[in-house]
Chain A
């Protein structure tokens, strides 16, 4: 038997698919810090969320109602899970969970669940449609952005911003469109999926860089790590990357995160414009990115810092990460028999750790 866990943590955002979620990277970082002394409760949204099944990732698996069902359903389920399997720290890894969690923060605190989240005010200030305001306040360039709610607005944005132009969903997804027809198709697709308003953004040609950081809520910013995507998926997501050293980049990101008085993990997406070499703010994601494990491997374990913040402690003192640490994602298949899915669908829980091996009669899925 392993020693008693000193951290019992619940983590969501566990699917590594076409659009990779940060949960697995967060868990791996914590496992590297805590070794055997951690118990991880996996929180999924679908019986086939891959992280629920990967060997060595979660120690217990539960399904949550979608955040769109509202805060009440969400907190009731967390209360239910907490009553079954105690956990002390909750790390939400999806954007859409944050507004819901903020509404039920008091009830989570009553249960003794600590979590680190930005205030509603800072969350509002980094919403996609209010970024220009923040950028201006920090003296950082950003592409011209327009809120669009209908075809007329889209057409007006096209005339104003020209093509190519970027059409963005309120939470996720963006399309670079080459003309009005593509713009209309993208608008219809994104609006159907995410609702209105959407955003139209000026397309700035250049090279994209991402910075991961942890804010302490008082303007302190821990361990920014900058990365350039080296392998990019069809959806524009990083599938591989390399740490870079660029003081201007990390200083700019730090300035933005500090100005937001951000509390929690975040990712600042920036672009160095080909035309004038200036950095443009593209987006701030209100959680760690899926590549969070790269920062850990570069010596900056931000999920560990986040857990410390949640517990009212100081994050570790991070050293500057070395440039040149790279990662490339390597997709492998996970296997199981129908019993894993049956269990999750019938009870919304699968006891025990995930396994990627085909379960035989002597199943290694230890029922404890």
Chain B
């Protein structure tokens, strides 16, 4: 899985993220509600943790047996791209069938 570009990591670092799941984007003024796994993933992405390790982290923190965490994470990063929060990477979402 490709990692985020440095500009995307900087952009994610600029977000104001609360423990309650409230995310504010200072550049656009949009705010978002995030669930617990999204908060965990965002925190790791801000620290430039590689995707494979984020998936492991999610498995460690949440009851995620038999779940395609890698696929979900790729989808999440794609969604961040749609919200303009990371630079969209055409190759980034191709890991959809992974996890086997």
Check A-B contact in the complex, CB < 8 A.
yes
A residues at B contact (CB < 8 Å): 338, 341-343, 345-347
- Please count how many residues in chain B sit with their CB below 8 Å of the partner chain's CB atoms: 8
Q: How far apart sit A155 and B22, CA to CA, in the bound complex (Å)?
A: 50
Contact B20 A341 (CB under 8 A): no
Closest chain-A Cβ to B47's Cβ sits at a distance in Å of 22
Taken together as a complex, chains A and B put the C-alpha atoms of A228 and B94 apart, in Å, by 65
Whole-angstrom distance between the Cβ of A5 and the nearest chain B Cβ: 30
In the bound complex, residues from chain A placing their C-beta under 8 Å from that of B33 are 345-346
Which 10 interchain pairs have the tightest Cβ spacing? A342-B22, A346-B20, A338-B24, A342-B18, A346-B22, A345-B22, A345-B33, A342-B20, A346-B21, A338-B16
Question: Which residues on B are within 8 Å of A, measured CB to CB?
Answer: 16, 18, 20-22, 24, 31, 33
Q: Is the CB of A347 within 8 A of B20?
A: yes
Which of chain A's residues has its CB closest to B29's CB? A338
Q: Collect the chain B residues with CB atoms within 8 Å of residue A345's CB.
A: 22, 31, 33
B20 touches A338 (CB 8 A): no
A341 touches B21 (CB 8 A): no
Using A338-B24, A347-B20 as known contacts, list a sample of 15 further A-B pairs with CB atoms less than 8 Å apart, ordered by residue number in A: A338-B16, A338-B22, A338-B31, A341-B22, A341-B31, A342-B20, A343-B20, A345-B22, A345-B31, A345-B33, A346-B18, A346-B20, A346-B21, A346-B22, A346-B33
Report the minimal beta-carbon distance from A344 to chain B, rounded to whole angstroms: 10
| CA–CA, A6 and B51, complex, Å | 59
Interface SS of chain A: helix
CB-CB under 8 A from B16, the residues of chain A are 338
Sampled A-B contacts (12; CB under 8 Å): A338-B16, A338-B22, A338-B24, A341-B31, A342-B18, A342-B20, A342-B22, A342-B24, A343-B20, A345-B33, A346-B20, A346-B22
Q: In the complex, which residue of chain A has the Cβ closest to the Cβ of B20?
A: A346
Min C-beta distance of A339 to chain B, whole Å: 8
In the complex, A347 Cα to B33 Cα: how many Å? 12
- The distance from the CB of A358 to the nearest CB of chain B, in whole angstroms, is 15
B18 CB to nearest chain A CB (Å): 6
- Residues in A neighbouring B22, C-beta threshold 8 A: 338, 341-342, 345-346
With a cutoff of 8 Å between Cβ atoms, the chain A residues found around residue B31 in the complex are: 338, 341-342, 345
Interfacial chain B residues near A341, Cβ < 8 Å: 22, 31
A270 to chain B, nearest CB (A): 44
**Minimal Cβ-Cβ distance residue in A for B33:** A345
Q: What separation, in Å, do the CA atoms of A258 and B24 have in the docked complex? A: 53
Q: How far is the CA of A252 from the CA of B20 in the complex (A)?
A: 55
Q: Least Cβ distance of B32 to chain A in Å? A: 10
Residues of A within 8 A of B20 (CB): 342-343, 346-347
